[in-house]
């Protein structure tokens, strides 16, 4: 059995949080210290570079001020929350399409061997083309508007969902399927009550990757073209030489990605509550 060092530490240590040994507090202190050091270094770098190129590296305080400013004042046509919401709407569109098409395809791959063997080599080859490489043809097909951006999200999210669904579906023990069939469950009930619950945890692993891939690809698409969205906000900030706005945009992108991830995890925990331990 493989025991991680973490487990050894917890096993050896006391059981209640307030009894944590002193070295844990020490570790936490080191962590906080290094994060503070990061911000101090940033501020120092900002002050030094401002002597020669004003605005090339804004201070943390400036970025915080710009953040507060952008939540109420419009830049590049909208306020920061509106840019984020606009990006999220296109992300949602592409993502929902990826799930609606990807999950059935994954189940098909998992269930029928010939389909898997015939389609997966092509699928695998297409996967070697990064989602960003689809931005040029998307521009050819739909121009650089909302449709092509949602398409990019779809292309980035789709493979992870198909593959994880396939893996999840192939986890289903055929004996269980035969048993439920013998006990009189129809095809729909088998799908709903046997295949779905068993493959769900695997599917969610893919959904998590897909959500973050889709968000990343959307930002790239928005950087290249469009009129609204966080990526567009960053691109406009760059064009105006406003690095503080670029940094606020980066922050918004990272925070949104983290929130999306938390939502997917929460959803996955809720839908697979019957599992004894989360993967």
- Scan residues 238-267 and list those touching other proteins (CB under 8 A): 238, 241, 243, 246-247, 249-251, 253-255, 257-258, 261
Residues 138-177 that bind other proteins (CB under 8 A): 139-141, 160, 164, 167
Window of 89-97, 131-139, 174-182, 191-199 that interacts with other proteins by CB under 8 A: 131-139
- Which residue in the set 61, 68, 100, 129 belongs to the binding site for other proteins (CB under 8 A)? 129
- Which residue in the set 14, 104, 130, 192 belongs to the binding site for other proteins (CB under 8 A)? 130
Q: Where are the alpha helices (DSSP H) in 112-145?
A: 113-127, 135-142
CA distance 27 to 157: 38
- Which residue in the set 35, 47, 48, 179 belongs to the binding site for other proteins (CB under 8 A)? 35
Find all residues with CB under 8 Å of 218, minimum gap 6, and list them: 87, 90, 91, 94, 149, 152, 153, 156, 229, 231
CB of 7 to other proteins, least distance (A): 9
Window of 2-10, 102-110, 183-191, 266-274 that interacts with other proteins by CB under 8 A: 2-10
Residues 190-219 that bind other proteins (CB under 8 A): 205-206, 208-209, 212-213, 215-216, 219
For the purposes of burial, counting CB atoms within 10 Å of the CB of 102, is it exposed (0-12), middle (13-18) or buried (19 or more)?
Answer: buried
Nearer to other proteins, 104 or 130 (CB): 130
CB of 186 to other proteins, least distance (A): 30
Whether residue 180 contacts residue 194, with contact meaning beta carbons closer than 8 Å, is answered with yes
CA distance 62 to 43: 10
Beta-carbon count within 10 A of 28 CB: 11
């Amino acid at each position: 059995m493989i025991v991680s060092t973490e487990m050894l530490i917890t096993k050896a240590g006391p059981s209640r949080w307030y009894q944590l040994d002193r070295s844990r507090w020490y570790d936490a202190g080191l962590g906080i210290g290094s994060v503070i050091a990061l911000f101090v270094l940033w501020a120092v770098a900002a002050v030094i570079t401002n002597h020669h190129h004003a605005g090339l590296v804004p201070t943390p305080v400036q970025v915080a001020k710009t953040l507060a400013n952008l939540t109420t004042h419009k830049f590049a046509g909208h306020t920061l929350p509106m840019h984020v919401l606009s990006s999220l709407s296109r992300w949602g569109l592409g993502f929902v399409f990826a799930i609606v098409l990807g999950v059935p395809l994954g189940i098909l791959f998992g269930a029928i061997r010939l389909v898997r063997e015939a389609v997966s080599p092509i699928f695998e080859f297409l996967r070697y083309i990064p989602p960003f490489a689809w931005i040029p043809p998307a521009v050819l097909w739909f121009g650089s508007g909302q449709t092509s951006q949602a398409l990019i999200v779809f292309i980035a999210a789709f493979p992870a969902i198909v593959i994880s669904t396939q893996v999840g579906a192939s986890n289903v023990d055929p004996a269980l399927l035969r048993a439920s069939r013998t006990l009189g469950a129809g095809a729909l009930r088998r799908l709903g009550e046997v295949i779905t619950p068993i493959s769900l945890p695997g599917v969610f692993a893919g959904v998590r990757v897909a959500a973050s891939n889709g968000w990343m690809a959307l930002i790239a698409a928005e950087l290249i073209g469009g009129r609204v969205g966080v990526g567009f906000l960053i691109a406009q900030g760059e064009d105006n030489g406003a690095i503080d706005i670029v940094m606020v945009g980066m922050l918004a992108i990272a925070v949104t990605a983290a929130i999306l991830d938390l939502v997917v995890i929460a959803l996955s925990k809720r839908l697979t509550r019957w599992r004894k331990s989360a993967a």
